[in-house]
Amino acid sequence: MLPPPSRQVNKLAFSVFDREPTDEQRFMVWASGHGTSLSYDGHRFRDYDANKTERYRLFHPHSRSPIWITRQQSGKPRQLLYANPVAQRITPLPDTSQLVRQYLRAQGVDELYLGRHGKLWLRLSDQRLLKVDPRTHTVEQVLRPGAFYVLEEAPDGSLWFSTSTGLSVLDPKTGQRREYAYDPAKTAHIGGGIVITAIRVRDNGDVLLGMINEIQILTPRTGRIRKISLPLPTAASQLWTNTFVPDRYGNDYFSVGLMVCRITPQGQLERIDFAHPAEKIIAVYIAPTQDGTSDQLWVRVVSNRLDRYELKRLRPNPSFNLLDVIVNGTRLIENEEVQEKRYQRDSTGQPTIRIQEGDFVQLRFTPFADSRRSIFRYKLEGFSPQWTTYNDWVGVATYQPGAGTYHFLLDWETPTGWQKKPASLRIEVQPIIWKTVWFRVAVLTIIAGVVYWLMRNMYRRRQLRQELARREFEAATLRRMDEIKSQFFANITHEFRTPLTIILNATEQLADEWPTSGRATDRLGAIRYNSHQLLRLINETLDLAKLDAGKLDRHERLGEPIAFIRQVVNQFEGLAQQKHIQLTWNGSPDAELYLFDQDKLETIVYNLLSNAVKFTPSGGCVGVACLVTNAPGLVIRVSDTGIGIPDRELEQIFDRFHQVDSSSTRAYSGTGIGLALVKELTTWLGGEVRVESSVGKGSLFTVTIPLCRYGSTEPVVQADQADLTHVFDSPQKHEPPKTPVLATNGIAWQNDNRPLMLVVEDNAELRQYVVDSLAGSYRTLVAENGRLGLEKAQEQIPDLIISDVMMPEMDGYALVERLKADVCTSHIPILLLTAKSSFESRMKGLEVGADDYMGKPFNVAELALRVKNCLRTRTNWQRWLTSQRAYGEVSSEERSLLEKEDQFLSRLRQAILIHLEDQTLDVDWLAAQANLSRTQLNRKLNALTGMSPNRFIHRVRLEQAANL
Q: Are 776 and 806 in contact (CB under 8 A)?
A: no
pLDDT at 466 over 60: yes
pLDDT the model gives residue 549: 66
Residue 622 has pLDDT above 90, yes or no: yes
Report the alpha-carbon distance of residue 409 to residue 392 in Å, rounded: 16
Residue whose C-alpha is closest to residue 84's, from 7, 12, 16: 16
Instruction: Of 37-51, 289-303, 527-541, 715-729, give the range with the top mean pLDDT.
Output: 37-51
Provide the pLDDT for residue 462: 93
Side chain identity at 232, as an amino acid letter? L
507 burial class (0-12, 13-18, 19+ CB within 10 angstroms)? middle
Band of pLDDT at residue 781, cut at 50, 70 and 90: very high
What is the pLDDT at residue 929? 78
Residue among 790, 858, 854 nearest 818 (CA): 790
Choose the weakest-confidence range: 40-44, 324-328, 663-667: 663-667
Percent of the chain's residues with pLDDT above 70: 79
Closest residue by Cα to residue 294 from 310, 282, 281, 307 = 310
Tell me the per-residue pLDDT of 156-207, one tens digit each, with 9 for 90 and over.
Answer: 889 998 887 788 898 888 888 888 877 666 565 555 557 888 999 998 999 9
Q: What integer is the mean pLDDT of 596-617?
A: 87
**Nearest Cα to Cα of residue 544 among 685, 357, 681:** 681
**Cα–Cα distance, 845 to 853 (Å, whole number):** 7
pTM attached to this predicted model: 0.44
Note whether 70 and 36 are within 8 A (CB).
Answer: no
Residue 834 has what pLDDT?
Answer: 73
Burial group, residue 677, by CB count within 10 angstroms (0-12, 13-18, 19+): buried
What are the φ/ψ torsions at residue 152 (nearest 5 degrees)?
Answer: -145, 130
What integer pLDDT is reported at residue 727 of this predicted model? 32
pLDDT for position 621? 93
CA 235 to chain centre: 63
Strands 89-92 and 79-84 turn out to be antiparallel
How far apart CA 152 and CA 156 sit, in angstroms, is: 11
Q: How far apart are CA 260 and CA 438, in angstroms?
A: 39
What does the pLDDT read at residue 19? 64
pLDDT in tens, 149-162: 888 888 888 999 88
271-324 per-position pLDDT tens digit:
776 644 445 777 888 877 666 667 888 888 776 777 888 887 777 765 666 667
Q: What is the pLDDT of residue 732?
A: 38
pLDDT per position as a tens digit, 354-409: 888 889 999 888 776 544 556 888 999 999 999 998 887 778 899 999 989 999 98
- Any residues with CB less than 8 A from the CB of 493 and at least 6 apart, and which? 538, 539, 541, 542
Please give the Cα distance from 761 to 774 (Å, whole number): 15
pLDDT value at position 81? 87
DSSP codes joined into one string, 452-474: HHHHHHHHHHHHHHHHHHHHHHH
In the Cβ-directed half-sphere of 5, how many Cα atoms lie within 13 Å?
18
Q: How far is CA 807 from the centre of its chain?
A: 40
Q: Which of 813, 787, 789 is nearest to 801 (CA)?
A: 789
CA-CA distances (angstroms) from residue 196 to 158, 168, 191, 439? 18, 11, 12, 58
Q: What is the DSSP string of 236-305?
A: T-----S--EE-TTS-EEEEETTEEEEE-TTS-EEEE--S-TTS-EEEEEE---TTS---EEEEEETTS-
Length of the chain: 964
Tell me the mean pLDDT in the region 460-482. 89
The closest alpha carbon to 7, from 346, 294, 306, belongs to 306
Asked whether 670 and 659 are in contact (CB, 8 A), the reply is yes
Q: Quick one: how far is CA 953 from the chain centroid?
A: 66
Check: CB of residue 424 under 8 Å from CB of residue 417: no
Closest by Cα among 276, 280, 282 to 241: 282
Residue 813 and residue 845 in contact, taking contact as beta carbons nearer than 8 Å: yes
Q: Tell me how far apart the alpha carbons of residues 873 and 808 are, in angstroms, rounded to a whole number.
A: 30
Tell me what pLDDT residue 20 has. 65
Name the β-bridge partners of 161. 151, 168
Compute the distance between CA of residue 462 and CA of residue 365 in angstroms, rounded to an integer: 69
Instruction: Please name the amino acid found at residue 512.
Output: D
Residue 952 near residue 940, CB atoms below 8 Å: no
Instruction: Report the percentage of the chain scoring pLDDT > 90.
Output: 11
> Which burial class, exposed, middle or buried, applies to 477 when counting CB atoms under 10 A from its CB (0-12, 13-18, 19+)?
exposed
Q: Residue 418: pLDDT above 80?
A: yes
Split at pLDDT 50, 70, 90, the class of 532 is: confident
Long-range contact set of residues 505-512: C-beta below 8 Å, sequence gap at least 24: 507/531
DSSP 157-184: S-EEEE-SSEEEEE-TTT--EEEEE--G
Q: Which of 663, 664, 660, 689 is nearest to 672 (CA)?
A: 660
- Biggest alpha carbon distance in the chain? 155
Q: Look at 27-31, 514-518, 772-776 and tell me which has the smallest mean pLDDT.
A: 514-518
Q: What is the pLDDT of residues 808-843, one digit of tens each?
A: 888 888 899 888 888 888 888 899 887 665 677 778
Higher pLDDT, 805 or 276: 805
- Rounded Cα gap, residues 577 and 641, in angstroms: 16
Give dist(CA 507, CA 523) in Å, integer. 10
**N-to-C CA span, the chain:** 104
Nearest-angstrom CA–CA distance, 934 and 420: 114
Q: How far apart are CA 824 and CA 597, in angstroms?
A: 61
Task: Give Cα 622 to chain centroid, integer Å.
Answer: 48
Average pLDDT over residues 124-145: 84
Question: DSSP letters of 673-734?
Answer: -HHHHHHHHHHHTT-EEEEEEETTTEEEEEEEEE-EETTSSS------HHHHHHHHSPPPP-
| DSSP E strand boundaries for 748-882 | 756-760, 779-783, 800-803, 830-834, 852-855
Looking at residue 730, what is its pLDDT? Answer: 34
- SS3 state at 835: coil
pLDDT digits (tens, 9 = 90+) for 248-264: 888 999 988 777 888 99
Query: pLDDT tens across 713-745, in order?
Result: 443 333 333 333 333 333 334 444 444 444 343
Average pLDDT in the 424-452 region? 89
Residue 649, CB-side half-sphere exposure with 13 Å CA sphere: 14
When the pLDDT of each residue in the chain is averaged and rounded to a whole number, the result is 78
Q: What is the pLDDT of residue 453?
A: 93
Section 870-882 average pLDDT: 77
Contact present, 636 and 568 (Cβ < 8 Å): no
Higher pLDDT, 372 or 607: 607
Which of the four pLDDT bands, split at 50, 70 and 90, describes residue 568?
Answer: confident
Least confident of 80-94, 650-664, 896-910, 915-929: 650-664
> In the chain, helix, strand, coil percent, each to 5?
35, 25, 40
DSSP letter, residue 100: I
More confident of the two residues 459 and 63: 459
Residue range 329-343: mean pLDDT, rounded? 62
SS3 412: strand
- How far apart CA 643 and CA 808 sit, in angstroms, is 14
Closest by CA position to 651, among listed 691, 621, 685, 681: 691
Phi, psi of 296 (to 5 degrees): -105, 125
- Confidence band, pLDDT 50/70/90 cuts, at residue 639: very high
